[in-house]
Amino acid sequence: MFHILLYFWAILPISLWVWASQEHFNTNINDEQLRFEKYSFNRFELKHYRGKVKDLFHFAHDNYLHKGYPYDELRPIACIPKTRNFEDPDDEITNDVLGNFSVTLVDSLTTLAVMNDRPKFAEMIKLIEDTFPNKFDIDSTVQVFETTIRIVGGLISAHLYATDPSKKVYLGEEYKGSLLQLAKDMADRLLPSYLTLTGLPVPRINLRTKFDPITIELVSENNAAAMASPIFEFTMLSYLTLDSKYADVTRYAMNKTWALRSDLQLLSMSFDPQTGQCYSQISGVGASIDSFYEYALKSALLFNDEGLLKIWQDAYNALNTNSRADWFYTNVQSTTGQLQTLWIDSLSAFFPGLQVLAGDVEDAILKHMMALKLWNTFGGLPERWEFQNMAAFEVSRGSNINDLRSLVPLEWYPLRPEFVESTYFLYRATRDPFYLNVGVTILESIETKFKHKCGFGGFQDVTTGEPQDRMETFILSETLKYLYLLFDVDNELHHTRDNVLFSTEAHPMWLTPEVINNYEHNKYFNDTVYKRHLKACHKRDRGSAFNENKRSFVGGKLRRFAKSLFTTDQKPKEDVNQHPKPEFKKELTIDTSSVHEQMCFSMPVGNKDKPEWLHSHILSHFDRLFEIDRRYNSSLIRPEHMKNEVPMEIKRGFYEKWAHDKFSHSRPMPSTESLEIVLDLPGECQLLRLPDGSIHRNTLGGRTKIRLEQIEPGKMDVYGRILNPELFISARRKDLFKSTCDKADKLYTPTLLYRATVLNGIYLPVGANLTINQKTVFKTQSEENTFRNLFGQNSYNQLMLDCIPIINLLMQ
């Protein structure tokens, strides 16, 4: 069913196998003391790093057990517990995650399973059983989403490990199913949050009293990720308990959340769960919306669900059309697709890993590179970074401005896992040692910068290097787990035939054929409260604004042609409800620097006689490796504590071993300019990608965004090539359908042409065309007339914009 989607460990053929590098070790010492040459990345070296990660985990885990348990977290510097704010129940920043339910103990359990530490795994399960004799009967108001992914997800995943005979930590008869019962108890305490008029969950609930002590301010706004994402853990719970209420209630909420999207298929970030009213019309891939995309795809795969797959495909296509930039996804206005904010956040670093799962490895490499450059700059990923900031120009010129926070309005980095996660997925897909080197760099930073007396903490401020005295549970559950798996090539997860998928909290989940068959034949739904609830929700949907065919309250329809040009320095619209107008805007300037300027650093390379296959593809064939450094040099300003750090991709030992001098070079910066054309038409976007990278379209339905490069002889184009004057000699500017261009020819230089380089976020390689079937593209004569008024067409069947041919945009 999902033949176009591949699991991450089998997406690409293995382009190189790093284990073939020669091991260097002293034969006079025993096997446990085997030595290796750093960056060889042979099995001995990877085993060494894997052991280091395991030791670091146990260091922090043991300290938590002795100095933090039974409270939720341990402060790594002060070595005292970090607890919820018992004095102020409305302290949502602290209390959303810290529910006084030993969250570090539960959330870290599956990391022990992944590390095959069966004795410790069994010991911690017994401790959890002893800790919760009355299950989760706790007077704590907590966030539903965070509690679901950390507590419910952690318990379900650990239960799978404990009951699966194929897993090394399988406990057999000594385990009686307590974790599943605890997961069910917690889910039952969270599920009433869905009992709203819309079926969308409120963000918080009290585990004992439900809503009694909760103020309206704590439940009046919820984000898209929190409203939709519990579908993954709750559906898993239904499969394991046979009670389908968990799956049905959360699936309804997922569908309802998706129904709130705009006509551009873009989902806003936050809503009132009681009414569906939109609070923030920003759309992107970062905080507040990230897990929506993640769980649409992962739930489709794990539960074999065509409907969820369609949601993912439509959402991803909309993102690529409206939000995808070269190196990251921008935050756009959901009803217009126009740039809304000038920042990206650290949570968006997870998205390359999701792209790998979806098979889009090519773009995942680009988006991961942005996170890498942020790490090089700040030593971690700031919670929010502005890719364009006027004050940054003053900082970059060395002025007295001493406030780098203009670049990082949210300045902390709590050792989040998203960058490590994407690194892991990209390595599993490509086997490129480049990503092993990223992992080594992160590991060394954890050892030297983030390790404290009792655990690990990130930066409170990336601009100063001030340490953060907090060890969030995801450090043990995700950051160290993904780092361990990156180096553990023999881990059972990498060789299993189970359809293993990681939750957003990195808890492995899988379903066996026996479990699936049992659920399909024996599931039940006996809870009358939730049966009546869903029945009432469906009844209210008929004729309401939430109906799939009546989403007009989200934003007006954009069923018209619109032609506009956007600039990379465009400021966000102050009126978030303003729609784009069908006129030209300011041109987009890509770069006008010298065409001869190169971005590669001067570095010695390794042995010229090394085999051509024994190198990193990224170092040796990715000619845009330093483009980000150039393009965002005014915003990637290193703080003082990072002045002496060497960027991870050019560390001498790594670069010498894995860069091949025969291939390694950098693409020159273009001296051309680019613009974008946007068309909005009724129908759905349909396109066919051809083997040579060309794209064919039978229709122009939906939103079509085309990036055009304005090319002139002698300039450097976006592909790093000097444009040959011969390309311009035979250009034809006469229009086949009208005489407009006949009189205007003298106004245009024959040395100016356009070339399409990107369509709806898809990059066209050199020589690729964008072709349109003129027999099927127009549904009515009115559509064709409108199209002809915007575009001309010459005798080569090239479309023309203002009488200038677009040389690779053809009507056929």
Query: Using CA atoms, how far apart are residues 177 and 171, in angstroms rounded to an integer?
Result: 10
What torsion, rounded to 10 degrees, do the Cα atoms 173, 175, 178, 183 define? -110
As a whole number of angstroms, the distance between CA 403 and CA 561 comes to 45
d(CA 277, CA 289): 16
Query: Quick one: which of 142, 60, 144, 148 has its CA closest to 94?
Result: 142
CB 297 within 8 A of CB 500: no
R_g of the chain computed on alpha carbons: 28
CA 782-784-787 angle, to 5 degrees, is: 110
Helical H runs in 379-465? 390-396, 418-430, 433-448
- Select which of 72, 107, 248, 418 is catalytic: 418
How would you classify the pairing of strands 466-467 and 673-681?
unpaired
CA distance 769 to 807: 8
How would you classify residue 379: left for phi > 0, otherwise alpha for psi between -120 and 50, otherwise beta? left
174 counts as catalytic? no
Q: At what angle do helices 306-322 and 290-302 cross, to 10 degrees?
A: 150
258 to 251, 299, 323: CA distances (angstroms): 11, 14, 18
Active site residue 306: no
107 is catalytic: no
Instruction: State the catalytic residue, choosing from 243, 290, 363, 411.
Output: 290
What does the chain come to in residues? 812
**Cβ–Cβ under 8 Å, residues 246 and 234:** yes
What string of H, E and C letters represents the secondary structure of 309-339? HHHHHHHHHHHHHHCECCCCECCEECCCCCE
First to last CA, the chain: 33
The reply to whether 146 belongs to the active site is yes
C-alpha–C-alpha distance, residues 663 and 736, integer Å: 46
Pairing of strands 278-280, 343-345: unpaired
Catalytic residue among 96, 117, 146, 505: 146
**Measured distance CA(662)–CA(185) in Å, rounded:** 61
Residues 6+ apart with CB under 8 A from 628: 327, 369, 370, 373, 636
Could you tell me the two tokens for 689? Answer: 């990608």
Q: Can you point out the beta strands (E) in 69-184?
A: 73-74, 81-82, 141-143
Using the structure block, give the residue that is written with the tokens 């086949």. Answer: 736
Q: Is 504 annotated as a binding residue?
A: yes
Taking a C-beta distance cutoff of 8 angstroms, is the pair 139, 209 a contact? Answer: yes
* Catalytic residue, candidates 233, 263, 383, 591: 383
Instruction: Please report the beta strands in 364-428, taking only residues with DSSP state E, as ranges in sequence order.
Output: 384-386
Where is the binding site, in residues?
504
Where is the binding site for Ca(2+), in residues?
504
Which residues are catalytically annotated? 146, 290, 383, 418
